[in-house]
Amino acid sequence: MNTLPTDPTLDEVRAALAPGIAANAAFDGWSDAARDLAADMAGVDREIAALAFHGQADMVAAWFETIDAAMVQALPGEALAGMKIRARIAALVEARLAALAPNRESLRRALAILAQPQNAGRGAKLGWHAADLMWRLAGDTATDYNHYTKRTILGGVYLATITVFLDDDSEDHADTRAFLQRRIDGIMRFEKAKAGFLARTENRPSLSRFIGRLRYPAV
């Protein structure tokens, strides 16, 4: 659990308590009881802890922020630099899974909370953030539509991998790793096919450009 400064901000309280709440959520759910117990363990006043979180989804989001931080710490830039893109993505997803592994039951409960209609938007944002962070750490700098397609596809792969991970009792989560590798291979095949298609069509006449010239002739 994170060490708090003498006069912490609410954000610092959130970051410090989130891992403890996650550990308690396996038994107490993402509840006030889980939050209060984490506060007691960290020596934080329960009323301050209550101010730091606004409901279950907020507790889950704070925990996911600590998973982001754990992933970044596990794979600094120099560790990723010598890898190919597919290896970087696989390593980043596996680092997230390693950080989540001690609290799989809490993760199951967290996903159920985010699946509730009132939390669906928050859940989508958290999934997008995870995919965006992984692509950025992997070195992706796309700003066109590729930026969105890559993150949408990886977000789907990550969620599917999590679904397998939750019930994976194989040694060292070997089944989850194999599933992930197959899905990443699929992403790479798609990106390769897309790049080939764009290269073939780059110099083809564009109907939209032609019509645009008819409407707005050069002067």
**What secondary structure, in 3-state letters, does 120-177 show?**
HHHHHHHHHHHHHHHHHHCCCCCCCHHHHHHHHHHHHHHHHHHHHHHCCCCHHHHHHH
Q: In the prediction, which pLDDT does 5 show?
A: 72
Q: In the prediction, which pLDDT does 204 show?
A: 63
> Is residue 10 over pLDDT 60?
yes
Q: What percent of the chain has pLDDT over 70?
A: 85
The CA distance from 154 to 69, in Å, is 19
Q: Which segment of 20-34, 176-190, 200-214 scores lowest on mean pLDDT?
A: 200-214
C-beta separation of 138 from 118 below 8 A: no
> Is residue 56 over pLDDT 70?
yes
Question: Where along the chain do its domains lie?
Answer: 86-201
The number of residues making up the chain comes to 219
Q: What is the pLDDT of residues 152-191, one digit of tens each?
A: 999 999 999 999 999 999 999 999 999 999 999 887 776 6
Higher-confidence residue: 192 or 206? 192
Q: In the prediction, which pLDDT does 219 show?
A: 45
Q: In the prediction, which pLDDT does 201 show?
A: 60
Q: Which segment of 24-33, 162-171, 178-187, 203-212 scores lowest on mean pLDDT?
A: 203-212
Q: In the prediction, which pLDDT does 185 show?
A: 87
Higher-confidence residue: 178 or 218? 178
Find which of 80-84, 110-114, 142-146 is predicted with most confidence, using mean pLDDT. 110-114
> What are φ and ψ of residue 13, in 5° steps?
-65, -45
Report, as an integer, the average pLDDT of 61-77. 96
SS (H, E, C) 84-127: CHHHHHHHHHHHHHHHHHHHHHHHHHHHHHHCCHHHHHHHHHHH
**Nearest 5 degrees, angle CA 191-CA 77-CA 140?**
25
205: its two tokens: 């006449």
Q: In the prediction, which pLDDT does 186 show?
A: 80
Spatial CB neighbours of 83, under 8 Å, sequence gap ≥ 6:
91
> Is residue 3 over pLDDT 60?
yes
pLDDT averaged over every residue in the chain: 89
